[in-house]
Amino acid sequence: MRQSRTSGSAGSGEEQSRRLPNNSHQKPKSQYLTLNSGIKLHYTTMGEGFPVLFLQGSGPGASGWLNFRYNAAFFANNGYDVIIPDLPGFGDSDKPELDYTLDFFVEVVLEFADKMDLQQFALVGNSLGGAISVGVALAQPERVSHLILMGCGALEDQPYYGQHMEGIQAMTKVPLGSPEFTPTYLKEVLKLIVFDPKHITDELIEERFRVLKTQKPSVFTRMSTPNLTDRLGDIQCPVLGFWGANDRFCPLSGAEKLVTGCNNAQVITLSKCGHWVMIEHPELFNQRSVEFLQNT
């Protein structure tokens, strides 16, 4: 099992000197792990302590590090083993041609945890990553200590998102890989993810377009998630949710579903915030999340 220390312990001496500033965006060394299916996953790690597994959202050019670069150092500095994989089809992980179902992603995450020798862990999931986190907690409840969910997916029937959510409509309007899906168009799509467009930097567009050029259309055309609302009562661990009032990808009604459907949930909703709470309000997200892990 991966070594851990008491949650919240910051360490001392040489260990203390290795701490990164809480606002550090320095990406850790890339690592790779191959699943039994032959799919190779890219991941990064930071810190020591109780494992916290971060699962990114979907979208053109998405990756784990880009989703959580404003959060990793804070969790690591507060005594957690931060583990951030790229889901299959995203980032620098393999991108096979297959059906990207929720069951597929849940199986991938559980096998990844097995191969990393994680007997128990907390999950942090944004959007698709939130849906997968719920799926993992339902599949093997004894292994998941806490759920932290931001703009969680799979709380509506799948057609609802394409019919009613402006961000999903824009993301799927132009097929991935077509000449029309330019960096300029990518920027317009990503602006819908946030309330304040200042977060959509040229650096972000450059890195996401690099990943986008390696993605296959099937990661979106063959992706399917069920509506998990009726199963929220089966979640056994405590849940902390975050939701932006201006989320154009997952409706704000999901926040109410979490607190009414789960047995032990609290949800923070924020004005002037879109789908990326952890990027638009990193200080609040980091502090409240670590307090939740330490005290719940």
CA distance 106 to 288: 26
Check if 275 is active-site: yes
Task: Tell me how far apart the 2 most distant CA atoms of the chain are, in Å.
Answer: 55
CA distance 151 to 135: 15
List, as one string, the DSSP characters of 222-243.
Answer: TEE----GGGGGG--S-EEEEE
CA distance 195 to 178: 27
Which tokens go with 8?
């919240």
| Selected catalytic residue, list 25, 42, 146, 275 | 275
* 201, amino acid identity: T
Radius of gyration in angstroms for the set of CA atoms belonging to the chain, rounded to a whole number: 18
| CA–centroid distance for 217 within its chain | 20
Closest CA to 255 of 263, 265, 272, 267: 267
CA dist 172 to 22, 55, 58, 166, 169, Å?
Answer: 35, 21, 12, 10, 5
> Residue 152 in contact with residue 131, Cβ under 8 Å?
yes
Sequence-distant (6+) residues with CB within 8 A of 7 are 49, 50, 78, 79, 80, 293, 294
Annotated catalytic residues are 275
